[in-house]
Structure 1
Amino acid sequence: MGFPGTWMTESESVVYRVVPKCACSTIGQIMFYSDHGKFFDGDIHDAQAGMHKWAIEASQPLIEANVKGHKSLAFTCVRNPYARILSSFFDKICGVQRNGKRYRGNLVPMLVQRYGAEVGGPEGKDDFDQIASFRRFLLFARDTIRFRKPMEPDIHWSAMSGHISTFIVNGGRYDQIFFTEKFDEGMAKVLKKIKTKHKIDLKKIPRFNESEGHGPKRLHKVSDYFDDLSRHLVWEIYKKDFQLFKYDFDDPDNKMPLAEVDLDEVHRKLGD
């Protein structure tokens, strides 16, 4: 199994377990900059050099040796589950992707046909009922996660705890888990504990939101998208995420965590 979704700087200063829709583009670019003194030209997810990634075969033995020996600080970043699933919907489902096509080929047409969702027409620019469509997408997301039908779950809406657990189960240990909502504070703590070739001023780092502009703008406050049934589905999918990462299930509009992450609890509960 190894360490899927794990990135490491070439200098091995730091190890990061990617969690999709949780500032991963910005974090990857900061890691790249810390080694090279410049940002990667393009989407950091496309970089095939300048950084070690588990998806690059030559990087695997280096990442494995580092993680199992806990040679470098290891961290990840989490986000409010309500905001994360909404972001996945507007970016991946409603948005036209960088290549000018819909995400994952037949996924969106299937969602439109089988679940009756609307996505703003072929260009994603038409008006549509965002709330009704999102709730239909949420049902689809639950079906993929719970029943693996009509397809396998996608990394952008599968639970954060699932991504984070693979690192622990295979022999890794996190030194820090911080919140997207307190990004500068969390990233500053990571940078303080590692040695980088190039100094990073977080105030001057742009936000590399690779999904921005793909889809329509969210028109309503978060809680409007989640009626009683939607919240039931959210709890079914993301119960562990709310509990372990201390987010407020009762108030969808409160994006901030209620407490700091208890690393011992995370390792205990996700390490089985």
Structure 2
Amino acid sequence: MGFPGTWMTLSESMLYRVVPKCACSTIGQIMFFSDHGRFYDGDIHDAAKGLHKWAFEDSQPAIDRRARARDTLAFTCVRNPYARVLSSFFDKICGIQRSGTRYRGKLVPTLIETYGIEVGGPDGQQEFDQISSFRRFLLFARDTIRWRRPMEPDIHWSDMSGHVATFIANGGRYDRIFATECFDTGMQAVLDAAPVRHPVDLARIPRFNESEGHGPRRAHPVEAYFDDLSRHLVYEIYHRDFRLFRYDAEDPANQRPLGEIDLDEVHAHLGD
């Protein structure tokens, strides 16, 4: 299986397991800058040069060698499950993608017909009942993850633990896992521990939120979207994420982790 979803700097200074909707665009750009002294001109997900990616056959031997040897700093980044699944809804379901089309073609029309959601019209910018539609989307997300129908779970709303686990299961070990809610502190610890060619000033770099503007703006605070039933659904889907990454399952308004992530616990639980 190898190391799907893993990026590495060309200098082999750091390995990053991408977790969708967890600051991956910003992290990729930081890695690119640390090697080249400049940011990639465009969406880093589209970069075909300047960064090793497991999706590139030529990059796989280098990533495989470094991940298994565990001599390159390996890290990933996680996010509060409530905010992450909400972001996935607005970006991937309500939003128009970079290609100018809806995400995954017939997905949104199927959701509209089968689950009765609204998405803000053809351009995603019209007013609609965001709370009601999001809660219906949660039912769909649960169905894909628990029963794998009407489709396989998508990487943007499947649990973070599943993404993180593949790196461990295939022989890698994380040196750092940090939360997006503590981004500067966590990313600085990575940069301090890696032999970067070009220093990165986190206080001065932009945030590369490539999904911003794809869909309607969130009209309410995060906690407004989650009633008792939807909190139950989120916990059913993401119970490992809440436990391993120390997030508060009881209070969607509390976005920050409750404590430090225990790397030994993560490796023990996800390495089976």
Task: Provide the TM-score with structure 1 as the length reference.
Answer: 0.99
| Paired letter, 2:68 | K
| Paired letter, 2:191 | L
| Paired letter, 2:54 | W
**1:1-272 correspondence runs (5 A):** 1-272=1-272
| Paired letter, 2:11 | S
Give, in angstroms, the shift of residue 227 of structure 1. 1.0
Cα-to-partner distance string for 1:119-144 (whole Å, 9 max, x where unaligned): 01111111100000000000000001
CA distance in 1 between counterparts of 2:220 and 2:5 reads 32
Cα-to-partner distance string for 1:202-236 (whole Å, 9 max, x where unaligned): 11110000000111111111111111111111011
SS at structure 2 position matched to 1:203: coil
| Paired letter, 1:245 | F
SS at structure 2 position matched to 1:11: coil
Give, in angstroms, the shift of residue 262 of structure 1. 0.2
| Paired letter, 1:187 | M
CA distance in 1 between counterparts of 2:152 and 2:61 reads 28
CA distance in 1 between counterparts of 2:41 and 2:223 reads 37
CA distance in 1 between counterparts of 2:194 and 2:222 reads 36
| Paired letter, 1:58 | D
SS at structure 1 position matched to 2:203: helix
* Structure 1 runs (4+) greater than 2 angstroms displaced: none
Task: Provide the TM-score with structure 2 as the length reference.
Answer: 0.99
**Residues paired across the two proteins, number:** 272
Give, in angstroms, the shift of residue 159 of structure 1. 0.1
CA distance in 1 between counterparts of 2:60 and 2:34 reads 21
| Paired letter, 1:194 | A
RMSD: 0.5
Give, in angstroms, the shift of residue 270 of structure 1. 0.3
Cα-to-partner distance string for 1:168-193 (whole Å, 9 max, x where unaligned): 00000000000100100000000001
CA distance in 1 between counterparts of 2:265 and 2:56 reads 31
SS at structure 1 position matched to 2:267: helix
SS at structure 1 position matched to 2:171: coil
CA distance in 1 between counterparts of 2:35 and 2:221 reads 39
CA distance in 2 between counterparts of 1:80 and 1:34 reads 27
CA distance in 1 between counterparts of 2:126 and 2:25 reads 28
| Paired letter, 1:154 | D
| Paired letter, 2:179 | F
CA distance in 2 between counterparts of 1:202 and 1:229 reads 39
Give, in angstroms, the shift of residue 51 of structure 1. 0.6
SS at structure 1 position matched to 2:52: strand
User: Percent of aligned pairs with the same residue?
Assistant: 72
For structure 2, the residue ranges without an aligned partner over 5 or more in a row are none
